[in-house]
Every structure is written in C-alpha cells, then in structure tokens.
Structure 1
C-alpha cells in the first residue's frame, strides 16, 4: 500500500536548473573555465562538490579553494531563487492532493542542505514536508539510492510503499534502486528517451496526475 510521496527538488518543485547553469557559467567563467552546453548537460545532475571537482580537473584554476568556489555557486543560486524563484505549475494542488490522503511527504535532493530551506520557503511549500534529505549527508549521491532510502527511514515507511517524482535519469535510477515507484516529470518530447525508461509513469505536468494513476502505481511490483 502506498503511504508516502517523495519529491526531487531541482527541476521538479522549482525550475532551478537555469539558475545553476547561470551560476556555474558566472563563477567558473570568472576563473577562466569555459563551459560548453554539452558539458553543462553532463554536470546537471551532479552535486555541487562533484561539479566543482569536475571543472577543476578539466580546467584547473589557482587562488581559490574548491570549497570557496562551490559556496560561491550556491550563494549565486540562492540569490537567483530569492529574486526569481517560482513553484512548478500545479505543485501546491498536488501536495494538497497527497495531504488530504494522509500521505507522508518527503524530499530527496542532490542539492546542498543549506539551499533547501531557501527554495522551499520561496515557493511557499515548506510546511508540507515531513522529511528532507540531501545527498550531501550520504556517502554517495544519486544515482545511488541512499538519499531516497534515508527519506523513507525518516518517514518510517517501507521504500516499496513510496512514490517518487523525478525529472532526471540518474534520479529515476536512484529511486528505482531504492525499490520505489517513480513518476518522471518530463516534456512530452522526451518520453521516448532511453534515459527515462525505468520510470513507471511519465507525465508532463503535475496537473496530469490523477486518482487513476495512483491506483495503477499501487499495483506496480517493485
């Protein structure tokens, strides 16, 4: 029986991926790092520690520690969220849908811990969440399932009784490896992309999710 829903954050609760891209181009660019669109796509699902290390290994800089550069990126994104952050369309209605069904609600993200409250407060949904987990507190980030398993433990729910909303291939893999049901939130033109084939359901908008989908997911074997 499904008892909990767990959300990824970036690209699911808020369209923050462009913020991270702008921050990385600004901060790393000031250090002389040239970021191509292809490589930016490759790093999109990494943690901030992993992204910083990746660019340093590719194009080393001097004068600033990796930790300082990473924090500069996070600060830049926090400022953008404060100025421009908006919830994904239909998010609050979906949260209400699950709240009315007495579902536990959790968050599992690769983003650093300190930016989570900034985002949840800005988009006005922080009070909906019963548990929050960041891969920063795990030995491995997504696609490792640890951050999803941590949230399930905090919610006191078996992983097989959880639905996850994700938007990335590595996130979907992490949730499936945690033995959870997964809804991929994607533009329709990406439905046939092999990166998302592990998802149990693919939707373009939160508003597309229905009682019928919930019933169907409850019968999915994990």
Structure 2
C-alpha cells in the first residue's frame, strides 16, 4: 500500500475506467472486420480487448487475411466507427467526474495513459466534460509498443513531471496493471462493482466504484 502523501499523481486508463467504451469497440470491431469477411467470435474478440487498434487489425488479418484494403486503412475505419459511437452512445463511468475533481482538490496531478488512438482521447474527454481536469494525456500511438509495455506510463509520468514511484495508475485490465507495475508505479484496480474475472493480483488496492457518497472519507482514495 502506498504511503500517505507519497503519491503525487494519479494516471487513469481510459476505456472501462473513464468511459464505458469497451462494448462500443466490440461493436465497431465486429462491423468493420465482418465486412471484410472476418468471422468475429466473442471468444476471439476478447483476446483483442486490451490491444492497440494497429495490433487488433494485424490480429484479425493473420486469422482471416483480406485483399481489398490495407491494414492502415482498416485500422482507420475502426477508429472512425468508434469515434462515431462514442459521440452518439458513449457513457461515462458513474461518478468519474466528481472523483477526479476531488483528487485535484487534494493536490494530485492528473494524467491519462491509454492504448486507444490519440485522436479518440479529446473526443472522450469532451463527451464527458473532463478536458480541463487532465494535466496531460498520453497514447500508445506514440510508442513502439502498447500496454503491457510500460512505455505509455513512463511517457505519462514524464509529461506530469512526477517520478513513476510517486504515481498511481487506475486500471481495469491485467495488461494495463502489468504496464504500470513495469513502469515502477503503484496500481489501483478498478472493478466497477463487478467480479469480471480480471486478475487483480498486481494491484496495491481495489477501487470498487467512483461514487463518493458510498465511500467513507477514510476510504475516499484507496491508495492513501
């Protein structure tokens, strides 16, 4: 458990932590790849859940190679579809705005580190009215490898001007937890009041929800 007042920055994952976008990614994935002749199954789609969009396109191409478009164009089609779905259907995780506002009042710097394309970040933050609350945003788009590689978290730490061991990452996937741990950060596993089978063994603490009214003051931030 992190020492009290040790943590100086909180870095959020985006999909599944800020916004309930994973069903939208699945919908876009099914629509785009099915149109290319790919047989998208629920089991195989689960494998791609924590990949970057480039990795997802490569994954399906190796399983069902298509000839009518290249990987870069296919990836962009997925991004465009997800962007459309987020604008029209995206819903924030309950309590997230108030939770981040309270963190800022406590003096924490706030960052974002996601495997999603950089172009989607402002769409999500604007949709949820979170844009002014973030001191920096980082995407694996700018890294050689996405999570579980620690690169995006190291970049987020550098942008915030806070050493990795003074940061805590809030993640909902084992892949993301591995990335943050490998970067030398603390990890809070966000479960959203569910037991979805995600391995939380790497987590320093668990955040069940962001509803402050349901949390006692001493448990407001599980990492203090």
Aligning the two structures, in what range does the TM-score lie when normalised by the shorter sequence? over 0.9
8 Å CA contact 2:193–2:209 kept in 1: the answer is: no
Give the root-mean-square deviation of aligned CA atoms.
Answer: 1.7
The corresponding residue for 1:217 is 223
Aligned to 2:133: 128
More helix by share: 1
Aligned match for 2:94, one of 80, 89, 92 = 89
Q: Which residue of 1 aligns with 2:3?
A: none
Query: Quick check: 1:172–1:184 contact (8 Å CA) kept in 2?
Result: yes
* Aligned partners of 1:203 and 1:209 also within 8 Å: no
Q: Say whether the 8 Å CA contact 2:170–2:190 is kept in structure 1.
A: yes
Matches within 5 A, 1:99-118: 99-118=104-123
Q: How many angstroms apart in 2 are the aligned matches of 1:150 and 1:210?
A: 33
Cα 1:194–1:99, aligned 2, differ >3 Å: closer, same or farther?
closer
Q: Quote the residue 1:176 is aligned against.
A: 181
Q: Which runs of 5 or more structure 1 residues have no equivalent in the other structure?
A: none
Offset of residue 204 of structure 1: 2.3
Instruction: Rate the CA distance shift 1:48–1:210 in 2: closer, same or farther, 3 A.
Output: farther
Question: How many residues are paired up?
Answer: 217
Q: Which residue of 1 aligns with 2:208?
A: 204
Q: Which SS does the other structure have where 1:164 is aligned? A: strand
Counterpart contact for 1:159–1:179, Cα < 8 Å = yes
Quote the residue 1:6 is aligned against. Answer: 11
Rate the CA distance shift 1:69–1:194 in 2: closer, same or farther, 3 A: closer
Match of 2:199 among 195, 206, 222: 195
Gaps of 5+ in 2: 1-5
In structure 1, the residue matched to 2:68 is 63
Q: Offset at 1:196?
A: 1.8
* TM norm structure 2: 0.92
C-alpha contact 1:14 1:86 (8 A) present in aligned 2: yes
